[in-house]
Amino acid sequence: MLSFNSSNIISKTKTISRRMFLLSSFKAVVLIGIFGRLASLQINDSSKYRSLADKNRFRETKIAPPRGIIEDYFGNQLASNNKIYQLHVVPDSTPNIDELFFRLKNIIDISPRKLKLLKKKISKKKSWDTTIVSDNLSWAEFSRVNLFLHELQGLQPTVSVARFYPDSSSSHAIGYVSEISPHDLRTKAYLQNLNIENVEIGKTGLESALDEQMLGSPGYLRYEVNAYGKKVRQVATDKGLKGKTFRTTLDQSVQKLSSEALQNVSGAICVMDIYNGDIISMVSSPNFNPNSFVHGVSHDEWKGLTENRDKPMLNKALSGLYPPGSTIKTLTALSALENDIVNPKLLVKCEGYVDLHGERFHCWKKKGHGIVGMRTALKKSCDVYFYEVSRRLGIDRLSATAKKFGLGEKVLQNYSEEKIGVVPNTKWKKKELGKNWYIGETLHSGIGQGYFLTTPLQLSLMTAQIANGGFKISPRILVDENEEVGNLQRYLNHKNSTPGNVMSADDQIYNFNLQPLFRNQENINLVKDAMFAATNEVGGTSYRSRHKERKFMFAGKTGSSQIKRFTPEQREAEIKQKDITYLERDHAWFVAFAPVQDPRYAISVLVEHGGSGSSAAAPIAKKIIKRVIERHEIRTAQIYKKSGENT
């Protein structure tokens, strides 16, 4: 029994041990497998898994850096950034969102429609995400919310930064910012890489042109999030790079005055430095409040702006197209002189009209001007004289001169909305209208009617290039701090430093590398002298608007661009402009340069449907010119100052 038992034990033990050895070997293989896997994960692929773990736990939110500032020539802010008061809500930390909104409705002004939209927005987000309830509260509302904050659990009053425009006078030149639209994202390449929520971008004007540089480089907030996406802690922040600040050539003081001067009319004013092309003022009226767009313009306000007869959203200074009217006579005269078509001493008899090929061409003065020479014709703006001159000159020569002086092309490179207008000639008509040119059209063109279309900015450039002695300038609205002093500016500096040393035109051109627009500078001087007469001599068209004080004296040319030709009956009845319906009245023009003996500035004033230039536009120019000349000293003192020094 015992022996059986022990032999049984021995045989069992044998089997068990043998099989256990096999099993242990198998275990060793498994162990090596696990060990190998561990090593492969933790040693070989460690960096791959580490980046996957970081991808799990980090989330980044891009933040927009403060937008670049736009300053005027003196460092005054035309577009700045302001503190704004906002309300944010985190649904997670509020016990009852409906109750919260009900209470909030009694504290701040919030429409039921907006509340409905908000609730929809919140329901789409995660419950710990922040939603903006109100993006621009007044201080009064903000402090009221803070007062009742203990009843408004989950609400976060927040102070943020947004675009702010101190006044509306530069609304067209500067433009406005607003939320990114899907269209912007499609068309503007730089926005596609930006990828920030809640950022306002430039829509028009300089805001649009300089948008990319003013946006700066976005920063980011890096958060650690848990598996459910809830933010656990903030890991890193990068504030990004502040947008670039731009200094413009505009003078806020003149901008404000120009804006005031056009307060009750529709029109535009441009003021330009005739030597360096600085745009000192560029306003369009009526303007709009650019601040309205920053947080989304209301439906009613937008409707009011777009349906307004006077088109407040249009920058008339560079997008408004008008026939130049009699202001073109300066170029008609100049062109005729330059091409030796007429002698300045040519006399023409004005009987109030002239007949050509059976068509009657009227002078604005029914009784006629009698016998007039070029100086008198410009001074009194005699149409019959210029009919005769342009008949002899021909449209193609006039067109060439007009183009030379800046008509028919963009004045500035910064505005996509700028229009180029029309400078007609025989080729143009054939190409655009497919018809031959009629001599009658030359006569109309010679007094700035017909096909001619110009912007107020183009006419101020034209006037500036006449006033500076006939040299080409490149207008600019941005101050380039690194720009070298322009040739014309160097010539001016030389002239100011050596008074009495009169240099011939050829020497000027040779020594300062100037670009003359004339063949004979005498011709330019003749035109300038005639413009002097038009303002400062009895019988001149703008005589009533003249400055008597020497310092402010200016020389100008009036103009009115015809909307609708008078019928013979109206002409017979001597109907006054103010007696016809507003929309049929002529546009009033006035272009001028000042001061007369040593010109520095050129101005163009347009008043839509203002009637005549002498009554509607010239008095406005008179006011502006005075302000511009008053500010001449401090402006020249500013020339070599860099931006920011004055802020």
Pick from 1, 159, 227, 538 the residue near other proteins by CB under 8 A. 227
Instruction: State in angstroms the smallest separation of the CB of 91 from other proteins.
Output: 21
Q: Verify binding: residue 222, other proteins, rule CB under 8 A.
A: no
What DSSP element (H or E) covers 170? none
Q: Which lies closer to other proteins via its Cβ, residue 73 or residue 223?
A: 223
Q: Which residue has the tokens 């001074």?
A: 379
561 pairs with which residues across the strands? Answer: 587
Alpha carbon distance 149, 152 (integer Å): 5
Task: Identify the residue among 25, 37, 96, 351 touching other proteins (CB under 8 A).
Answer: 37
φ, ψ dihedrals at 499, nearest 5°: -65, 145
Q: Provide the 10 A C-beta neighbour count for residue 184.
A: 17
First to last CA, the chain: 115
Stretch touching other proteins by CB under 8 A, among 20-28, 274-282, 596-604, 621-629: 20-28
Name which position in 25, 39, 99, 116 contacts other proteins (CB under 8 A). 39
CB of 17 to other proteins, least distance (A): 7
394's torsion region: left (phi>0), alpha (psi -120 to 50) or beta? left
Using the contact rule CB under 8 A, the part of the chain among 40-48, 205-213, 517-525, 637-645 near other proteins is: 40-48
Bridge partners, 161 (sequence order): 83
Interaction between residue 576 and other proteins (CB under 8 A): no
Nearest distance from C-beta of residue 303 to other proteins, angstroms: 47
* Residues pairing with 560 in the sheet: 588
Selected range binding other proteins among 53-61, 78-86, 184-192, 546-554, rule: CB under 8 A:
53-61
Q: Does 3 contact other proteins by CB under 8 A?
A: no
Query: How many amino acids of this chain bind other proteins (CB under 8 A)?
Result: 39
Binder among 45, 151, 549, 584 for other proteins (CB under 8 A): 45
- Residue among 145, 174, 217, 228 that touches other proteins (CB under 8 A): 228
CA dihedral angle for residue 635, residue 640, residue 646, residue 647, rounded to 10 degrees: 110
Handedness of CA 243, 244, 250, 254 (dihedral sign): positive
Using CB under 8 A as the binding rule, whether residue 127 contacts other proteins is answered as no
User: What is the three-state SS of 61-122?
Assistant: EEECCCCCCEECCCCCEEEEEEEEEEEEECHHHCCCHHHHHHHHHHHCCCCHHHHHHHHHHH
Site of tokens 């001087």: 525
Asked if residue 636 binds other proteins (CB under 8 A), the reply is: no
Answer yes or no whether residue 2 interacts with other proteins by CB under 8 A: no
Task: Look up tokens 């460092």; give the residue.
Answer: 75
Measured from the CB atom, the residue of 15 and 138 that comes closer to other proteins is: 15
| 8 Å CB contact between 334 and 469 | no
**Sheet with 555-561: strands ordered across:** 279-285, 267-273, 601-607, 587-594, 555-561
Looking at the Cβ atoms of 11 and 413, the one nearer to other proteins is 11
> What is d(CA 530, CA 180) in angstroms, rounded to the nearest whole number?
52
Q: Give whichever of 46 and 513 is closer to other proteins, judged by the CB atom.
A: 46
Residues 476-505 that bind other proteins (CB under 8 A): none
Residue 236 touching other proteins (CB under 8 A): no
Q: State the DSSP H helix or E strand holding residue 583, giving kind and residue range, or none if neither.
A: none
Q: Which of 66, 130, 172, 232 binds other proteins (CB under 8 A)?
A: 232
Q: Does 9 bind other proteins (CB under 8 A)?
A: yes
Q: Does 234 bind other proteins (CB under 8 A)?
A: no
Q: How far is the CB of 80 from other proteins (least distance, A)?
A: 42
140 binds other proteins (CB under 8 A): no
Query: Which residues of the chain form contacts with other proteins (CB under 8 A)?
Result: 8-9, 11-13, 15-17, 19-20, 23-24, 27, 30-31, 33-35, 37-39, 41-43, 45-46, 48-50, 52-53, 56-57, 224-228, 232
